[in-house]
Chain A
Amino acid sequence: MIAGLVALVPLLAAVVLGFVRDRAIGAWIVIAASTAAFGLACALPWQMGAGTLLLVDPLSVHMAILTSFVGMTTAWFSRRYIEIEMITGRLDGLRARQYHVLFQAFLGFMLLALLSNNLGLTWGAMEAATIAAVLVVGLPRTDLAISAAWKMFVLCGVGIALALFGTIVLYLAAQPSLGPGLPAMSWSALAVAAPGFKAPLLNLAFVFLLIGYGTKAALAPLHAWMPDAHAEGPTPVSAVLSGSILNVALAVLLRVRGLMASNPDAISPGIPLMALGLLSLLLAAFALWRRYDVKRFFAFSSVEQSGLAAFAFGIGGPAAMFAGMLHVTLHTLIKAAIFQCVGRASQLKGGQKFADIGGLIASHRALGLTLAAGIVAVAGMPPFGLFSSEFLIMLATIRSWPWLALPVGLGLVVGGWAMFNRLISLCLGAATPNRGPAPALIDLVPAWLHLALAVVLGMAMPAGLVAWFSLVAEGLR
């Protein structure tokens, strides 16, 4: 019941926002709806169970809380950000309204995809979320934004089509055990019956689902849409895109992985996931060195982190799963904080190239320090949580695949080094001229909240949270 509301509230808000002309009221509706969605998602741990359409299990609850949290803080952030974009003329009134509608639709469909208990519904929600994301990326209506949106649409469209083929084959695999009809398409029933499925069909389904949803998880070599979408779309969308759509796709892949792992005759899902993950990690880590656009730079960093998470999920076992879930969670929080800072910084400096933004600490101390903290965090340095999760992933690697620790370590070092290199040019040194309004301190509160959570999760995770992460990891087997 509540699970349905979690997805329904943003979707309804999207419909309502389509009719609200007053911008101030619209902005507050956005904030109210996404805060309500987060509040409702927090009630989900007490609502566990599987219905016909919706599935509330530790994985979906965890991801739903995370997604709605980032959605909420980004909605807070968006209010002022969009105001400034309108003052500077990059968005007009109609576009701002479209932005709010699409943002809520995107959020709602992602939550629906996470909480759905039906292969078809998951696919449909994913498709709808993709369309909303494509539209919102193209919203600035510059040539580059439209090109980026088109590229995203073509690549993700093909991915989504392949995922549908995988879905059909998965149904075909489940049908002999579960009979024709809806049960053979429900995640919870599939999880129970998977050991009895015909392995060859399951393998075929896995390949298509891996490529299809892997495109959405931005795993190399299917990641090409992501840097463009990030660089050209509105910044708040980057904050959500970076964490959430990757997470939704990873969550689906995790469910498929669980089905494969429980079937004794099926191929092991770990190796393909590890291979794609490692490739993404290495490719992105080296690609980081040749970026000139700040948002594109951090988009590649998202590819890197998503790859590392997929690698951890590929290793399997409770320890690696725990580390992977922790990594996904922390990366989402930190990357959203970074994009919020980058959004403010590019408004302040009037550009989003590295050449435009420099010496941020000198020109705006709080913003510069927050961004610096975010970059330190995403580079995997203590006291932030990514240090712990990367450490745990390395430990799990050394335990099961000792040789792979070398390439993983190389990727992390090269990526982290690139981060520090850019940290110096972005935050330290002589300030480049300011060409836009400076953010107020209150605008940085969402980013501080995210970074504070990352510190807590890294240094002093409460016992309750440890138990929760273990529960989620346990469910994934």
Chain B
Amino acid sequence: MGHLAYDAAHLFGGAVLALSFVLLYQRRLTAVINAYALQALVLAIAAAWQGWAQGAPHLFLTAAITLGVKAIAIPLGMHSFVRRLGMNRAVESALGVFPSMALGVGLVALSIMVVLPVTAQSHMLTREDLALALSVVLMGMLMMISRRTALTQVIGFMSMENGLILAAVSVEGMPLVVELSVAVLVLLAFAVFGVFFFRIRDQFDSLHLDHLDRVDGGPR
């Protein structure tokens, strides 16, 4: 793999991670959705670039799926959903901006420390991309933990899946990437559907997950 191919792949992987940080501190719901769409777009470019660099045309399919569904269809659907239900307000976070950013940096350091030593003999690009991907996965989990509403949790979940796709495309010669990305997509579609469903029932005043605490098994 040439110098340019390597650098560019690195750039796109790094950009996906940088957008994970952007996701962490956004306050408005629409901004969170936009940041997610941008992350998916960069991921699609990264997948297409890997497809070209590895000479693996099936990765273009993964890139196309990511672009069409994750970067365009799901964000558009979410925007219309948020507009229709008048949810365009600030979403609170269980952690402040600074603690969540600090935790995010800590998670990136953690994944670099975990991944780089164990992949010492692997392909250079693979190991660094894997570290980036693991960071994205962990930051997605952090977002799921720190955000309180179902919609932002779902976006955290989807961002986590972006990290998984980044890992899958950067492992050279990995079979079934397209199939796996479709399977992941089904999961995402289901998550989004779940939120819609939740809201449409309108039993819960907001998508606040504190309502779930009612399921506690105590005497009612």
Interface residues of A (CB under 8 A from B): 118, 120-121, 123-124, 127-128, 131, 134, 143-144, 146-148, 150-151, 153-154, 157-158, 160-162, 164-165, 168-169, 171-172, 175-176, 180-182, 185, 198, 200-201, 203-204, 227-228, 231-232, 291-293, 296, 353, 355
The verdict on A153 contacting B191 (CB below 8 Å), with A161-B157, A171-B171, A293-B217 known, is yes
B137-A154 in contact (CB<8A): no
Complex Cα spacing A95 to B89, Å: 36
Tell me which residues across on chain A come within 8 A of B214, comparing CB atoms: 143-144, 147
The verdict on A165 contacting B167 (CB below 8 Å), with A120-B179, A127-B186 known, is yes
B187-A182 in contact (CB<8A): no
**Closest-CB distance, B220 to chain A (whole angstroms):** 8
Extra contacts besides A161-B160, A164-B184, A180-B174 (20): CB < 8 Å: A118-B176, A123-B183, A124-B180, A127-B187, A147-B212, A147-B214, A154-B144, A158-B144, A164-B164, A164-B180, A165-B167, A168-B171, A171-B174, A180-B172, A181-B173, A182-B176, A201-B118, A231-B215, A292-B219, A296-B217
Tell me which residues across on chain B come within 8 A of A131, comparing CB atoms: 186-187, 190
* B198-220 Cβ-contact flags toward A at 8 Å (1 or 0): 10010110000001101101110
Complex Cα spacing A154 to B150, Å: 10
> Which residues 153-168 of B sit at the A interface, judged by CB distance below 8 A?
153, 157, 160-161, 163-164, 167-168
**Closest-CB distance, A302 to chain B (whole angstroms):** 15
Instruction: From B12-20, B75-83, B120-128, give the one contacting chain A.
Output: B120-128
**Closest-CB distance, B216 to chain A (whole angstroms):** 9
Complex Cα spacing A291 to B175, Å: 47
B119-A172 in contact (CB<8A): yes
The B interface is mostly helix, strand or loop, or mixed, namely helix
- Can you list 24 residue pairs at the A/B interface with Cβ under 8 Å? A118-B176, A123-B180, A143-B203, A146-B201, A150-B198, A153-B191, A154-B157, A157-B157, A158-B157, A161-B160, A164-B184, A168-B167, A168-B168, A168-B174, A172-B126, A172-B171, A175-B172, A181-B173, A198-B121, A200-B118, A200-B120, A204-B114, A232-B215, A292-B219
A120-B176 in contact (CB<8A): yes
B201-A157 in contact (CB<8A): no
B122-A161 in contact (CB<8A): no
B132 at the interface (CB under 8 A from A): no
A228-B114 in contact (CB<8A): no
A148-B118 in contact (CB<8A): no
B191-A157 in contact (CB<8A): yes
B68 at the interface (CB under 8 A from A): no
The verdict on A150 contacting B194 (CB below 8 Å), with A143-B203, A161-B161, A228-B215 known, is yes
Complex Cα spacing A148 to B219, Å: 17
Closest to A167 in B: B180
The verdict on A291 contacting B217 (CB below 8 Å), with A154-B153, A161-B161, A165-B137 known, is yes
The verdict on A200 contacting B117 (CB below 8 Å), with A123-B180, A144-B215, A150-B150 known, is yes
